[in-house]
Chain A
Amino acid sequence: MANTVINVKNISKSFGPVKAVANLSFHVEEGTCFGLLGPNGAGKTTMMKMVYARSPRDADCGGVMDIFGCDPRTQELEIKYLAGVVPQENCLDEELNVIQNLMIYARFYDIVSVDAARRIAELLDFLELSEKKNSKIRELSGGMKRRLVIARALLNNPKLLILDEPTTGLDPQVRHLIWDKLRNLQRQGTTILITTHYMEEAFQICDRIIIMDKGAEIMQGNPAQLLRENIEEFVLELDRTESVEEVVDQSMIGKVRIDSSHETTRLFARDIEDLKAIADSLQAGQYLLRQANLEDVFLKTTGRSLNVEQ
C-alpha cells in the first residue's frame, strides 16, 4: 500500500474578496504524478504554493494540509527540505554561470562542496546540460534554463518534485524531453505535483489530475477515465457555423451532439462512423476529425477554453 505524500482537505485561499482556491481537496500517493489542470488564473499556482509553504492558506478555512506528515503552516522547513520546487519563473542568478548557480543553491541545503559537485555533474548529465556547465545564464535558451531550474530543484534528491508550468512557452522537442525526464524520476519513486494548462501534458505524464476553474474543482480522476466518462470519444470540428444545419440531417439527432457556442462548431459522437458520414459531405480543409481530449471536457463543463487568460 503506497503512502500518501500530500493530503489536502477542504483548503481555501482568498486574496481580499477574491477566492483564489475554494474548498479544494485531493491527495497524492507516493511515486505518482498528480496534475493541477486549468486555465490561467484558476488557482493552480496558489494551491501549489500553499503546499510548499510559500503562501499561507486561509486561517479560517478549517481544512487540513499534510505533506509528509508535516503541516506547511508550522513545518515549512521540513517540507522544503524534502521537496524540490520549479517555480513558474526561472529566477536564476544571471550574474553567475550554470555551475555557480547550482553550487550556491546546494549550500541552501547544506550539501558539502564535494558532494554538491558530484551531484551537480550527475544532474547536468541527466538533464543533458553538461556541455553548458560553464555558460552564462543569458547564453542559455529558454529550454535550457528550464532544465537548469529542474536540476536545481533536484539537488537535494527530493522525494516530492513540485513543478509550476514546467513546459509553458517551450518548443515541443524540449517539452518531450522534460516529460521523459519526469517519467524517469517517477520510475525512481519521486512523487510529482505539477500544474499545467496543457491538457496534453496532463494526459502524458499525470496519473491523476484535478481540473480547476476559478479556484474550484471541476472534476478529479485519472485523465483517460475522465475522458471516457465525460465526453464522447470523437469530435468533428467545422470551421463555418452556418453550415451546421446543412450538414447534420434529422437522422443524426441523438447520435451527434452539436456544440456551436464558440467560433468553431464541434460535433461530438461516440461512433466515429457517424462523424465520417458528415465529413464525407464536406470539402477537405473545412473540417477536422479527431479524438476528444481534456480541453473538450473543460469546454463542455465550463463553457470556456483552457488557454484563455482570465
Chain B
Amino acid sequence: MSNSKTPAYPPLYKRLYSVWFRHMRVYTRHLLSNGFPPFLEPLIFLAGIGLGLGTYIDKMDGVPYIEYLGAGLLVTAAMWTAAFECSYGTFIRLEFEKVYDGMLAAPLTAENLIVGEIIWAGTKGLFFSFAVLCILTVFNIVQLPNSLIAPLVGFFTGVMFAALSLLVTSFVKTINHFNFYMTGLISPMFFFSGVVFPTSKLPPFARPIAEALPLTHSVRLVRAVCNSNYHAGLLLDMLYIAVFILVVGCFAVKRLKKRLIY
C-alpha cells in the first residue's frame, strides 16, 4: 500500500513564488488605487515641507531640509507599507477572509506561507521606496544613478517591518489592538529614528533607544546611498538589519504558525 515514488510537489522557491504571486496579483487588481498613492504621498510631504516648514529651517545636518527629509522618506514609505500589510492585511486574511485556509489546502506549509508574505511585504517596500525615489528625482532632490540602490534599502526595510508586524500579529486577538502597535511603535519610529532630525540631537538617555530601533539603521543606510558617502560604520547597520530579520523573522514564523496549524 505504500507509494514508493514521491509525488513531485513544487520545490521551495516555486512555493514561495506562488505565495508572492498570489499577493501581487490581488494587489495589482486595483492598480490605480493601489499604485497611485505611493507617488502622491511623497509629493504632499515635499510640498508641505518645501513650501512650509522648509522655509523656517535652513539646513539640517548640513543639507537642505527638503533633502534631509526626502532621503528619510525613502525608507519610511517602505516601513509604513510593510507594517500595514503584515498587521491589518495579514490579520484580515487570517481571521476575516480566511485566505490562508484555502492556501494551506494546497501544497504549501505554514512556513512557506509566512515567508512568502514577508518577501511580498519587502517587495512592496521596494516599490514604495521606488515611488518616493521617482518623485525625489523629478524634483532633483537626489541624484541618479547612485540613488538607484535606495529601493533595495527599501526592500530590506520592508522585510524587517514585515517580520516585526507578523510577530505582533501573532499576539493580536482583535484587529483594534493594532492601534497600539501603529501609534505606540511605528509612529514614534518615524520621529525618533533620524528621519526628521538627527538622532544625535536626542537627549543622551534616548540615543541608545533610537539605536535599538530598526528604522534608525535603514535611515543611516539610505542617507549614505543618497550622499554616496559609504563608510565602514554602515556594516554595523547591515549586520543589525540581517540579525533583526533572522531573529524576529524566526519568532514570527514560529508564533504565527501556531495561529495557522493547531
Contact = CB atoms under 8 A, between A and B. Distances in A.
A55 interface: yes
B177 interface: no
Given A54-B261, A78-B6, A110-B10, A87 B107 contact: no
B26 A89 contact: no
B109 interface: yes
B57 to A, nearest CB: 43
B109 A91 contact: no
B262 to A, nearest CB: 6
Contacts of A153: 105
B161 to A, nearest CB: 23
B36 interface: no
B25 A78 contact: no
B105 A92 contact: no
Interface of B: 1-4, 6-10, 14-15, 18, 21-22, 25-26, 29-30, 97-109, 261-262
A69 to B, nearest CB: 3
The B interface, classified by DSSP as helix, strand, loop or mixed, is: loop
Contact of A91 (B7, B101, B261): B101
A3 interface: yes
Given A3-B1, A89-B98, A109-B107, 14 more contacts: A4-B1, A15-B262, A56-B261, A56-B262, A66-B2, A68-B3, A69-B1, A69-B3, A81-B8, A87-B102, A105-B102, A107-B18, A109-B106, A110-B10
B106 A69 contact: no
Interface stretch (A94-102, A203-211, A284-292, A299-307): A94-102
A272 B21 CA distance: 63
B98 to A, nearest CB: 4
A4 B2 CA distance: 9
A89 B100 CA distance: 11
A258 interface: no
B108 A80 contact: yes
Interface string A6-31: 01000000010000000000000000
A105 B106 contact: yes
Interface string A74-116: 0011101110110101011111100010001101111000000
Chain A interface size, as a band, is: 35 or more
A70 interface: yes
Given A91-B101, A91-B102, A104-B25, A109 B3 contact: no
B3 to A, nearest CB: 4
Interface of A: 3-4, 7, 15, 52-56, 66, 68-70, 76-78, 80-82, 84-85, 87, 89, 91-96, 100, 104-105, 107-110, 149, 152-153
Contacts of B7: 68, 78, 81-82
A78 B9 CA distance: 7
A107 B99 CA distance: 15
B25 A91 contact: no
Contacts of A152: 102
Given A80-B9, A96-B26, A69 B107 contact: no
B193 to A, nearest CB: 34
Given A77-B9, A78-B9, A89-B98, A107 B22 contact: yes
A82 B262 CA distance: 22
Contacts of B2: 66, 69
B106 A108 contact: yes
Contact of A81 (B4, B9, B29): B9
A149 B97 CA distance: 14
A70 B8 contact: no
Q: Top 3 closest A-B pairs, CB basis?
A: A69-B2, A85-B105, A108-B106
Given A104-B21, A104-B22, A80 B106 contact: yes
Nearest to B100: A91
B107 A80 contact: yes
Contacts of A77: 9, 107-109
